[in-house]
Structure 1
Amino acid sequence: MRVLVVQNFDSEGLGQIGAALVEAGADIDLRRPYCGEMLPQDSDAHDAMVVLGGAQNALDDEICPYFPELLDLTRDFANKDRAVLGICLGSQLVARAFGGENRIGGASEFGWHKVSLTPAAKADPVLAALPENFPIFEWHDDTFALPEGAVRLAGNEVAENQAFRMGRAVYGFQFHFEADRPMVRDWSSSFASLIAERHPDWSTRLDDEMAHHGPDADAAGLAIARAWVATI
């Protein structure tokens, strides 16, 4: 199993997705096109693709001129029935790839927040085993409208579309289910000045919120990661 991982920003790692891929014996091919690394021309050499998050928005083609190429690649994976997973910015790009409207701003969330599954999620191979409501880490300002034909799987009051599926195994997750407690602590350190500008009390709240929400969020995230890997 060979999995293409597209990183869009420094310190945006695989987290619990990486743990699930390692468990499955996957060969991970990491590409950083924002640093000038090339994307493959098509999906032929890979069984699945993961598109990670970033501080950009999904329409930032001037800042990230590789975005149109990535959209084509996403469609190629889907057309060949190969699994795709988009996280945060990645989910917004997956939505864009299939004609969904990207909405810049107006949907800000940071920290652990509750998301709720839709009735359709009860029959979804990735989410069926999850509780109807669970906390999960969020860090985004943007959202999107679902592409035509998408199955809406999760939402909350801030972002109606928190998770969706296209076809058999193309998934977009607005929330950061890959971000377990060690990753959140690392982000809180790596992006401390950025976070402090908008959430000046985060450093004092972190430990309590991590203790309160972290165990359930980590369990949900790892379950999602393992279930998606099983679709490859």
Structure 2
Amino acid sequence: MRINVLQHTPNEGPGSILDWAEVHNHEVYTYHPYQFGHLPTADETDMLVILGGPMSPNDDIDWIKAERKLIKELLDNNTPIFGACYGAQQISKTLGYPVTKAPAKEVGWAPVHLQSHVIPGIPETLQALHWHEEMFEVPDGAELLFSSDAVKNQGFVLGHHVVGLQFHFEPKPNNVREMVVNDFNYIPGSILKQTKEDILATKVPEENRAVMFRILDYLSQ
């Protein structure tokens, strides 16, 4: 299977998603549309992974609009899609729903609570890395998958082929360090009131990698 990854900033990479692809002998092609402007075609995409980034789906930027055209084609084809943070917002906006300011800015580690058991084997509560202040609307026909204490819309699953998460399960320890040392200016103002030192001192839960695998297994069935 060819997995096309859309990466939107150097410091938010695919993390454990690459581990899953390697275990299953899938090929991964990583695109950087914010820098080069190139996107894969629908015909050469067996699974699309849309990562986070500092931009908003509401920004009037050509490559952001082009991404949504690709997403629309893949949705029409029932191609598996996983979106993290900005990626989940892009999916929701492609389906015609607004992306708005969340009730609270969340940056740091905080629990998310499972709202649907459609994907088997996911614990009821998990510690996730949050790095956002905007929020998607859960599309009609989708199930709310996760909520946090401050923001209800934290994840959704649409059919058997689309999952969007507002937060991050994919970062490994080195990915977290890369996010913090490069984007620490974004941390102040978060309702979580964590410093960069707090975020770095928190161990990445081992179960997050396992849950990321379960989600991707579900999408690729």
TM normalised by structure 1 equals: 0.86
Alignment match, 1:205: 198
Aligned-partner residue type, residue 3 of structure 1: I
Is the Cα contact below 8 Å between 1:98 and 1:148 reproduced in 2? no
Q: Secondary structure at the match of 1:188?
A: helix
User: Is 2:190 the counterpart of 1:173?
Assistant: no
Distance 1:207 1:29, change over 3 A: closer
Alignment match, 1:188: 180
Is the Cα contact below 8 Å between 1:74 and 1:94 reproduced in 2? yes
1:102 to 89, 96, 99: 99
Distance 1:84 1:207, change over 3 A: closer
Alignment match, 2:49: 50
Q: Secondary structure at the match of 1:107?
A: strand
Alignment match, 2:112: 115
Please give the residue correspondences for 1:56-135 in structure 2 after superposition, counting only pairs within 5 Å: 56-61=55-60, 64-104=61-101, 106-118=103-115, 121-122=116-117, 124-125=118-119, 128-135=120-127
1:154 to 146, 164, 179: 146
Cα distance in 2 for partners of 1:65, 1:198 equals 30
Q: Secondary structure at the match of 1:12?
A: coil
Alignment match, 1:5: 5
Aligned-partner residue type, residue 33 of structure 2: P
By how many angstroms is 1:13 displaced?
0.3
Cα distance in 2 for partners of 1:72, 1:203 equals 36
Cα distance in 2 for partners of 1:203, 1:66 equals 31
How many residue pairs end up in the alignment? 217
Cα distance in 2 for partners of 1:3, 1:49 equals 6
Identity %, equivalent residues = 26
What's the CA shift string for 1:29-50, capped at 9, x where partnerless?
A: 111111123113x411121000
1:227 to 210, 214, 218: 214
Q: Secondary structure at the match of 2:29?
A: strand
Distance 1:82 1:31, change over 3 A: same
User: Is 2:17 the counterpart of 1:20?
Assistant: no
* More moved, 197-206 vs 181-190: 197-206
Name stretches of at least 5 consecutive residues in structure 2 with no aligned partner.
Answer: none
By how many angstroms is 1:228 displaced?
2.9
What's the CA shift string for 1:172-223, capped at 9, x where partnerless?
A: 000111123221122222224x146557962442454x14xx33xx31x212
Aligned-partner residue type, residue 3 of structure 2: V
Cα distance in 2 for partners of 1:166, 1:117 equals 15
Name stretches of at least 5 consecutive residues in structure 1 with no aligned partner.
Answer: none
Aligned-partner residue type, residue 106 of structure 2: E
Is the Cα contact below 8 Å between 2:88 and 2:166 reproduced in 1? yes
